[in-house]
Amino acid sequence: MTIEKIQIAKQSLKDFLGNIKGKTCIDIGSGSGIFSYSMYALGAKEITSVDIDPFSVQCSNYLRSKVKNPERWNIYQGSILDKKFISQFGKYDIVYSWGVLHHTGNMWEAIKNTASLVNASGIFFLAIYNKTNSSRFWLKVKKIYNLSPKIGRKLMDFVLFSVMYFIHPLLSSINPLTKLKNYKKNRGMDPMTDVKDWLGGYPFEVATFKEIVTFLNRIDANFKLVKYNKVNPGVNANNELVFKNVK
């Protein structure tokens, strides 16, 4: 975890959420913990990190230890689908879940449960894989990847990385090094790590931008879309949506 990546992650939060100083935040699917760490660094009043994966919980605990284990940052292992587990949490000013809920095996229930953690006038920021004509193809690829031995997964990692960051840019008259440099400015993430996460991300569900907005409005008409980053049709990437609870 480099200082540069942390700065980029902090900027990503500021771009979408503005000033979070003094806010209570929950990070559902905290992964490496970089965004929970960034919330702490930006002055959040309270940070709750949640992930079902024990290694991810270890990563968040490691970052928390780097800032002397502050009491205002708490880390839990559990599933967003487990209503008994999430009942221990209250309501938050900011509920953040980026690129996670579509891997739970029950995406819509996961979105509903996550949305239930938003307080009155709170913010819900989520990112969900866009539904495209190639989504079924990628579902098959992901199944193969997860059933493959280690050497098979490494080969698939190499092939996809080469296509995405060298072959495709060259065919599009783009300098591959420029593409890699620009990518790292996006949320502070690593290209190869994201390739592995993409191939290994299973279960795998998708939704169109409209389907997400419609669903949120159906479960609670008080959710108003206030900011978004909508990917182009056919692009296998995350639609980013920020909703405000206008109760």
Tens-digit pLDDT profile for residues 184-230? 666 656 889 889 999 999 999 999 999 999 999 999 999 999 999 99
Separation of alpha carbons 198 and 95, rounded Å: 23
Higher pLDDT pick, 170 / 138? 138
Average pLDDT of the chain?
95
pTM for the model stands at 0.91
Structure confidence by residue, pLDDT tens digits, 87-126: 999 999 999 999 999 999 999 999 999 999 999 999 999 9
- Relative to beta strand 73-77, strand 92-98 is unpaired
- Determine the pLDDT at residue 29: 98
Task: Provide the pairing of β-strand 223-229 with 46-51.
Answer: unpaired
Specify the residue for token string 């690129």. Answer: 99
Q: Which CATH superfamily is domain 3-131+206-245 in?
A: Vaccinia Virus protein VP39 (3.40.50.150)
pLDDT recorded at residue 185? 64
| Domain edges within the chain | 3-131+206-245, 135-200
Q: Which of 91, 126, 122 is nearest to 244 (CA)?
A: 122
Q: Shortest CA distance to 94 belongs to which of 49, 139, 41, 56? A: 49
